[in-house]
């Protein structure tokens, strides 16, 4: 059993954050663990409030996991403040964590900010160099790279610029573009394009969390990065296609569509 850790915020409505990560891990057959960095009072329509966990408590949660359990991969989501970012990066270095996938979450699906604007510089200098894979969407990639993205060529140029900040691979996600959903992976040598048709639905709450967690799961299972991304793209596309109309706003993706469709495997043991 591969063990995967999520370091992220908690979404009480269950569609994004730690909750989406754990569902995705389970759907991929890996054992999920969590370090909560922020409590987010949110639902499908709005973010009501955020309460950050202290950096000391964040580090103690990380200690609790790593001192006892071998961690095969780490997914990092919402890191709201510079102090939080530094605390996490310090522990990743201490424990020599591997297969680190970082989703630089800046905004909730409804546009509410989840990262302190003053933390972007720390994100670039302290967090991004820890990433084996960084997964910004177009608005996040624009913020990190300092450039406007309006074409495929811009996505590639931004990926190159972000790669030079120290991450080993970067995926600029095309969910915010027009037309087919095309994600661009750059590994420092070549580009990979992952294209699917765009699904007409408003129920996309937690898609970024789900995609990055799927990549993390696949890396823990031993897949090379291009294949890990390809399979994660297929998984999240299916989850979006069968998204759930829960709540009054942007409903969540369906993390367990295959399980709901096929049911639990029957056992001979009664």
Instruction: Show the tokens assigned to 234.
Output: 């297929």
Q: Quick check: 73 and 98 in contact, CB under 8 A?
A: yes
Sheet holding 170-172, edge to edge: 47-52, 31-42, 3-11, 73-76, 100-102, 133-134, 170-172, 181-186, 191-196
Average pLDDT over all residues of the chain: 93
Q: Quick check: 156 and 162 in contact, CB under 8 A?
A: no
Backbone angles phi, psi at 163, to 5 degrees: -55, -40
Cα atoms in the 13 Å half-sphere on the side-chain side of 240:
23
pLDDT at 268 > cutoff 60: no
d(CA 19, CA 219): 20
Mean pLDDT of 173-177: 78
pLDDT at 78 > cutoff 90: yes
List residues with catalytic annotation. 173, 204, 206-209
Cα 72–chain centre separation = 16
Residues 6 or more apart in contact with residue 117 via CB below 8 angstroms: none
CA distances from 168 to 36, 209, 231, 268 (A): 25, 20, 19, 46
Instruction: Show the tokens assigned to 259.
Output: 């399980």
Predicted TM-score (pTM) of this structure:
0.94
Q: Note the pLDDT of residue 258.
A: 83
Q: How does residue 117 score in pLDDT terms, banded at 50, 70 and 90?
A: confident
Mean pLDDT of 143-169: 96
Q: How does residue 270 score in pLDDT terms, banded at 50, 70 and 90?
A: very low
Q: Note the pLDDT of residue 269.
A: 43
Q: Quick check: 31 and 6 in contact, CB under 8 A?
A: no
Mean pLDDT of 184-213: 94
């Amino acid at each position: 059993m591969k063990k995967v850790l999520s370091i992220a915020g908690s979404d009480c409505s269950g569609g994004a954050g730690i909750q989406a990560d754990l569902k995705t891990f389970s759907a991929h057959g890996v054992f999920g663990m969590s370090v909560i960095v922020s409590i987010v009072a949110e639902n499908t329509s709005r973010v009501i409030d955020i309460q950050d966990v202290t950096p000391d408590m964040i580090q103690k949660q990380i200690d609790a996991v790593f001192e006892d359990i071998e961690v095969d991969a780490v997914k990092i989501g919402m890191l709201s403040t510079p102090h939080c970012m530094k605390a996490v990066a310090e522990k990743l270095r201490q424990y020599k964590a591997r297969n680190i996938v970082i989703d630089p979450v800046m905004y909730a699906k409804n546009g509410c900010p989840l990262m302190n604007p003053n933390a972007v510089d720390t994100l670039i200098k302290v967090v991004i160099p820890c990433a084996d894979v960084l997964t910004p969407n177009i608005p996040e990639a624009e913020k990190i790279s300092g450039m406007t993205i309006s074409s495929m060529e811009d996505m590639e140029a931004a990926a190159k610029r972000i790669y030079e900040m120290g991450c080993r691979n970067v995926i600029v996600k095309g969910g915010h573009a027009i037309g087919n959903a095309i994600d661009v992976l750059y590994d420092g040598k070549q580009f990979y394009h992952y294209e699917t048709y765009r699904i007409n639905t408003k129920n996309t709450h937690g898609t970024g969390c789900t995609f990055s967690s799927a990549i993390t799961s696949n890396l823990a299972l031993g897949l090379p990065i291009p294949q890990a991304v390809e399979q994660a793209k297929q998984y999240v596309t299916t989850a979006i296609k069968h998204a759930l109309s829960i709540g009054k706003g942007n409903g969540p993706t369906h993390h367990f569509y295959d399980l709901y469709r096929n049911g639990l495997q029957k056992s001979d043991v009664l």
